[in-house]
Amino acid sequence: MGLVDVSRLPQHVAIIMDGNGRWAQARGQPRTFGHARGADAVRDVMRAARRLGIPALTLYAFSEQNWDRPQDEVDALVDLLCEHLVSERDELTDNEIRLSAIGRLHKLPTRARERLQKLMADTAQYDGMTLTLALSYGGREEMVDAMRTLAERVASGTLEPTAIDSATLENELASMNVGPVDLLIRTGGEQRMSNFLPWGAAYAELHFTDELWPDFGANSLYDALSAYQNRERRFGLVPDDCEAAKAPLARGSLERAL
């Protein structure tokens, strides 16, 4: 197990939780069984991140493209979400975790949206950690929605095209509410981003593991954090300037690094 220096933790960890289906199929079970075990892994990892003091954890729970999976799998994922939005209430409140969500949430069935909104409202006051669920989320879709908003402001005369910079766009991206991603983890052996947080993860360190998501637990998170702490983050600069560059970059001044 990797050693973690708690004084140098990433401020924002994002996870692509892949491999539930394969995990279940390897055990002769339906894919939905893997999703249920995947939800248990969510609890373990959330607890471990909170205990360590990571301020923001964002999980890719349902992509915009996942709507095209077989209807029974989509239904099972929505049911699982609904269940967990009730069963995990004490876990969130006891640990002072604020729940947030990004994505085209209006596409979720009403029962899921209502439970989500209730738990977000009931945990809004906490600042122990922000847990963001990406639901019906796609990074390109998020950027398209943001650009449409900016285009409407330009059309109405309240925004000058020449005034648009990185910060203008960033302000329209809900995924940037908790800042840029420092560490992006993907389980399940694939090495791709799958439309997850393209803006926020632009300078993220990437950690890919063959472990399937239901097998990923606290120890796997420590390994990923330990690997992260052995990286040198440069943000497009030369080594000596890296430390000086981190603070402004963390506040979103991406231009400095280009």
Q: How many helices (H) and strands (E) does the chain have?
A: 9, 6
Residue 214, CA distances (Å) to 9, 18, 208 in order? 24, 9, 15
Min separation Cβ 181 and ligand FPP, Å = 18
Assess contact for 114 and 122: CB atoms under 8 A.
Answer: no
d(CA 192, CA 208): 9
Among 84, 115, 186, 207, binds ligand FPP (CB under 6 A): 84
Q: Which stretch binds ligand FPP (CB under 6 A): 34-42, 90-98, 147-155, 231-239?
A: 34-42
Question: In sequence order, which residues have a C-beta less than 8 Å from that of residue 255 and are 6 or more positions away?
Answer: 165, 166
- The verdict on 64 binding ligand FPP (CB under 6 A) reads no
**CA end-to-end distance (rounded Å), the chain:** 36
* 18 belongs to the catalytic site: yes
Among 14, 18, 209, 220, binds ligand FPP (CB under 6 A): 18
Residue 16, CA distances (Å) to 72, 153, 158, 172, 197 in order? 22, 33, 37, 23, 10
Min separation Cβ 231 and ligand FPP, Å = 26
Binding mask 117-136 for ligand FPP (x = CB under 6 A): ----------------x---
Q: Which stretch binds ligand FPP (CB under 6 A): 20-28, 116-124, 222-230, 235-243?
A: 20-28
Residue 164, CA distances (Å) to 142, 150, 171, 231 in order? 17, 9, 11, 33
- The verdict on 213 binding ligand FPP (CB under 6 A) reads yes
163-202: contacts with ligand FPP (CB under 6 A)? 188
Active site residues: 18, 66
Interacting residues toward ligand FPP by CB under 6 A:
17-22, 31, 35, 38-39, 42, 61, 66, 80-81, 84, 133, 188, 213
